[in-house]
Amino acid sequence: MTMLFSVLRMLDKSSSLTRPKEILKETKRTIYGKPPRHRVGAAQSFFVMSVFAAAMLAPAAWILHHLPEYRERAQQVPRT
């Protein structure tokens, strides 16, 4: 009997994915139309954007800086 209930529960969850009206209602619940509680200042925005840019560009800069070393390693004969 519990197997039947678990199968029915699983079918009910998967069928909710095919119901666009329910998905739309669920999406509308997460959209807020009020102004923010705390204003974000220009300094905070600049700090966050600069940290994000550094996090994205630092690995690429590391690779480009060490590119000559990587090329030398590739030209060396492997040890056997």
* Average confidence (pLDDT) per 10 residues, the chain, 80 residues: 67 57 64 80 96 97 94 79
What pLDDT does residue 55 have? 97
Pair (15, 50) in one structural domain = no
Pair (44, 78) in one structural domain = yes
Pair (55, 72) in one structural domain = yes
What pLDDT does residue 19 have? 61
The domain in which residue 18 lies consists of 1-32
What pLDDT does residue 74 have? 83
Pair (44, 26) in one structural domain = no
- Through-space distance between the first and last CA atoms of the chain, rounded to whole angstroms: 65
The structure's pTM equals: 0.46
Pair (27, 43) in one structural domain = no
From its phi and psi, is residue 69 left (phi > 0), alpha (psi between -120 and 50) or beta?
alpha
What pLDDT does residue 61 have? 96
Pair (54, 22) in one structural domain = no
Pair (71, 51) in one structural domain = yes
What pLDDT does residue 22 have? 64
